Amino acid sequence: MNPTEPGAGAPCCWSVNGIANSGVIVGQVFENDFFNAWFKQGTDEDFFLRFPSGGDTFATGVNSGADVIGYTAEGWGAWLAKNIEANEGTSDASEAAPHFTAVKYPNSTTTTPFGLNNVRAVVGTYTDSAGKQHGFLAQF
């Protein structure tokens, strides 16, 4: 991921937010008026364009099993995409759409995940109905 290379969509606005021990990295890029989450494993680069709810997507964590955690700024909220490279083979010609699982702390108004480990333990923050922010640890 080199935002200064020729043809890079938005060289001013790349972010790398997570790295797994295996070298997989995730983040987001601002392009075409949206933040789009991305995933990079070796030479494979995937972008989560136009998430089911639309709007901006942010990838905040990744583990060595290619599970990605993140959130959308509008609508859908926090999400977990398990093993997004499953059933793809070695070519991006056969991209498989990831399956997204909602991540929402019970009775919260917002949930924002920040990290994910290899046993799918997720850490982050949530805001309760009184507007107070708390940390959480959840297992998926």
Confidence at residue 14, expressed as pLDDT on a 0 to 100 scale? 85
Q: What is the pLDDT of residues 40-75, one digit of tens each?
A: 888 888 876 556 566 788 999 999 999 999 998 776
- The residues that bridge with 83 in the sheet, in sequence order, are none
Q: How is 1-26 classified by DSSP, letter by letter?
A: --TTSTT-S-TT-EEEEEE-TTS-EE
pTM over the 0.75 mark: yes
Which pairing describes strands 78-81 and 14-19: parallel, antiparallel, or unpaired?
A: unpaired
Asked whether residue 129 carries a pLDDT value surpassing 80, the answer given is yes
